[in-house]
């Protein structure tokens, strides 16, 4: 007995036009979008190559700057030499170096060296210029910012600009500069003494003696403090007294 065919219904299942599995789908997609894929891969390779090239160039540039900086360092006068003429050649070399290697870490170091060299050459305005440049270029938290601030306070002090120097020392003090607290209070005391504000001077000397440290030595602090107390007494000034303790 032969099988009857249902009217209107095919006995052949239709062939699917969709790929069967995900591998087939991916293969078809790749064939369809092969041009786009090739372009995307090429762009990615170009980007990666460019980044690698920039990094290699930056490292090479910094390496060259470090080598040139080492050469300049050999020209520095011996330690302790403060002859202005001896520092003029150093200033010229450092200025050229900073111009040629701008943007590298050694160039940032050289800017601080320029400030120091200018200070020794008694070119104080130039010293301030380079100190400000370091503060502008060095990122927050960078150690060079502390050194630049310290140099700036000394520069103002040497120029006889007591108010500006006091502001810079107080700024350093507010940063909690470890190892500098005794010196900062000592320098503030000397500056206030120079302004005949003996009560404030005595206050800072007393603070300096309470801080652990070796510079300046306690004998010097005690001697200068004794002299200041005499001057404060002669002027009718006295440091702020502590509030009386409650005996109840």
Q: Whole-number mean pLDDT of the chain?
A: 80
Residue 246 has pLDDT above 70, yes or no: no
Q: How far apart are CA 126 and CA 136, in angstroms?
A: 15
Please indicate, yes or no, if residue 215 is contained in any of the structural domains.
Answer: yes
Q: How far apart are CA 189 and CA 205, in angstroms?
A: 6
Residue ranges in 74-161 assigned as alpha helix (H): 84-100, 105-120, 124-137, 143-158
Q: How far apart are CA 205 and CA 219, in angstroms?
A: 12
Please indicate, yes or no, if residue 41 is contained in any of the structural domains.
Answer: no
Residue 6 has pLDDT above 50, yes or no: no
Overall size of the chain counted in residues: 248
Q: How far apart are CA 97 and CA 77, in angstroms?
A: 18
Please indicate, yes or no, if residue 170 is contained in any of the structural domains.
Answer: yes
pLDDT of residue 212: 85
Helix (H) or strand (E) run with residue 240 in it: none
Please indicate, yes or no, if residue 87 is contained in any of the structural domains.
Answer: yes
Please indicate, yes or no, if residue 141 is contained in any of the structural domains.
Answer: yes
Please indicate, yes or no, if residue 12 is contained in any of the structural domains.
Answer: no
pLDDT digits 0-9 by tens, 199-245: 999 999 999 999 988 899 999 999 999 999 998 887 666 555 443 34
pLDDT digits 0-9 by tens, 174-196: 988 768 999 999 999 999 999 99
CATH number at 230 reads 1.25.40.10
Domain count along the chain: 1
**Contacts of the segment 99-104: beta carbons below 8 A, 24+ positions apart:** 100/68, 101/61, 101/64, 101/65, 101/68, 101/69, 104/61, 104/62, 104/65
pLDDT band at residue 132 using 50, 70 and 90 as cut-offs: very high
Residue 35 has pLDDT above 70, yes or no: no
pLDDT digits 0-9 by tens, 58-90: 566 678 888 888 888 787 887 666 788 888 888
Please indicate, yes or no, if residue 187 is contained in any of the structural domains.
Answer: yes
Please indicate, yes or no, if residue 175 is contained in any of the structural domains.
Answer: yes
Which residue range(s) make up the domain with 158? 70-234
């Amino acid at each position: 007995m032969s099988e009857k065919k249902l009217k209107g219904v095919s006995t052949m299942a239709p062939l699917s036009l969709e790929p069967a599995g995900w591998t087939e789908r991916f293969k078809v997609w790749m064939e369809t979008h092969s041009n786009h894929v090739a372009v995307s891969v090429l762009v990615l390779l170009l980007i990666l190559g460019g980044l690698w090239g920039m990094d290699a160039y930056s490292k090479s540039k910094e390496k060259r700057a470090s080598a040139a900086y080492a050469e300049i360092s050999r020209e520095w006068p011996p330690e302790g030499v403060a002859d202005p003429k001896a520092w003029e050649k150093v200033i010229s070399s450092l200025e050229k170096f900073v111009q040629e290697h701008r943007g590298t870490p050694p160039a940032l170091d050289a800017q601080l060296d320029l400030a120091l060299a200018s200070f020794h050459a008694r070119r104080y305005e130039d010293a301030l210029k380079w100190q400000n440049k370091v503060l502008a270029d060095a990122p927050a938290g960078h150690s060079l910012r502390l050194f630049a601030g310290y140099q700036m306070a000394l520069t103002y002090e040497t120029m006889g600009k007591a108010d500006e120097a006091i502001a810079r020392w107080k700024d350093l003090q507010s940063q909690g500069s470890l190892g500098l607290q005794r010196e900062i209070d000592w320098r503030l005391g000397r500056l206030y003494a120079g302004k005949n504000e003996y009560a404030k001077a005595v206050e800072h000397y007393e603070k300096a003696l309470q801080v652990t440290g070796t510079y300046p030595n306690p004998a010097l602090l005690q001697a200068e403090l004794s002299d200041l107390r005499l001057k404060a007494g002669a002027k009718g000034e006295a440091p702020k007294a502590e509030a009386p303790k409650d005996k109840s």
